Structure 1
Amino acid sequence: MFKALMITRDADTLTTRLEEVDPDALPEGDVTVAVDHSSLNYKDALAITRGAPVVRQFPMVPGIDLAGRVSASDDPLYRVGDRVMATGWGLGENHWGGLSQMARMPGRWLLPQPAGLSSRQVMGIGTAGLTAMLCVMSLEEGGLTPASGPVIVTGAGGGVGGMAIMLLVRLGFQVVAVTGRPQLHAYLTRLGASEILPREALAPTGRPLDRVRWAGGIDVVGGTALASMCASIQYGGTVAACGLAADMALPLTVAPFILRNVRLQGIDSVMCPRPRRMAAWARLERDIDPTLLESMLHDVTLADAIGLAPRILAGHVRGRAVVNVA
């Protein structure tokens, strides 16, 4: 038997609780992992508290991230004892995820853990760090360098935003952070943000183009904030869009794209191909600042995750929650 968070639905009642589960109940897959760490993401918080639209079938073990050691394998790439990790691929949505002491999945979803990082650090980075690095790589591929000018990052208090700030600063960029939580100013300054703006700084102006303010941007919120960001990007700049925490709608015109040659690049970390993932994790192992990463992390247990989920949705949690599943 092993412990796992289990989400069930009976009629209109959603229940999430810590349960003892028989290993025979694990879903199909050719690799079984003894999980030692996971993380609690915004998507996990949605799954735990609301179920839909994240959870596609019940019962479901949430957790889009996991790290641990292989305990059984029919995949020639992995042997018992190998340190592995997984993010995305529908974990915690339509396949049992990482908020559990055991997991089973197709071997192609797994990656070797970077040799220079512990399981705890890997999960401290997790989907949030992978997404942030994919955003940074997109900006670089769009031609941005530290000499191009400042980069704006929304949702700065969350996992993706904080990781993006840390990575950009490490690479020499000047970063402008946007947050609706003034109490996080000291934290964001410690991560390296040179300027901190309130959410109102990206309020809609009604103009298709605004004065140029930034060379590029990383947006996790969508809606009017993303539209305002695009309208203030310099000629030839790039915006990486990876979230919809505020709104799925995008109320903007084509003006930034046809008059300033702005590039809007969508970022998906769920179905990201393996070679791109490997490249991003190699960069993360190289570019992460271990000291700053530690300042972003707080450790919780499987049981803690249930109560923490609504606080994440309410925006009361900064940085990254690492779940020790032991």
Structure 2
Amino acid sequence: MEFLTLESTDYESALRQARREYGNAVRVHTRKDFSKGSALSRKQACRITFYLVAESPMPNEEEEVQQQEPYDAVAYLQSLLLANDLPPSLAEEFALASGSEKAEVEILLVRRLFEELAFADQVARKFLVLVGLAGVGKTTSLVKAALFLRSHQGRKVAVLSFDVHRIGAVQQVRELCRNFSLPLFEADSVQAVQSLMPSLSEFDHVFVDTSGSSIKDEFLRQDLQALLTVLPLEQTSRILTINASAKVGDLLSQYEEFGSHALDSVIVTKLDETSTIGNILTFLDKSKLALLYVADGQEIPEDFSQAEASVLVPRLKLFSLDGSHFFPSP
């Protein structure tokens, strides 16, 4: 698909000019409003990127013109929200013009979902404590994240296992660290963590594997809190690990459960096991947490990436646009 660009004083003027040149084959892909000129004389402008579709042939005079169903922009928006598992109430935030085309509605929706979405583009602190429910994939994600920092950013990384209550947990992290030559330290108590601090000082980042707890498990919650009091506050990030298939209500409950630990960011796991991401986008919008990494498979380290809009937008179900075209190849 070929994308064309046109600039004018405002969106309506740009769209009219495009249609004068290319007719009704114009479909708007992106819109950017900006100002240009000197500091003393700035003018508003709008740049649109659009593509062309095949124009419908004009009917012969003898042919009967079929009456088409009227297009309803609001109803179309509701269908997009439903298809993407987004709350219907989101439609109330849009002031759609009656003549808004489908592509324009989709662009407005994408803009609403991603304009205020926060992405954590780097890891700055030394200790990275992954917390979350049992079974969400913390240990696998922890190893993937350590390998990502080592291979992509040249960081010296290690793993500290504090998952001392779950049967088989230590064996899992031992095997993964051995397979990928990651230094592993094990602690079965807070005192053991304290004794390891001198050995951990030589690493840029230490990923801490914790016991997967449930909301009702007071013992594990106290255990985690004790661990966090040992690690230096200013050098520690608390990262919530969540399953991409979980319901929004459940994700918010997990956020409240671990929120007392001053959460910094989120890792989304098992993205390959869901067909929609509306629940994840809604949760991030409500929690205001930054998205750090996404995991979309079991392969280590391949199925893991830095969280970016270009990773998520193509997973939206857009009926007239291809989400991947929001980030065309250079």
TM-score of the aligned structures, taking structure 2 as reference length: 0.31
Q: Decide which structure has the larger Cα Rg and report it.
A: 2
Name the structure where strand makes up a greater proportion of residues.
1
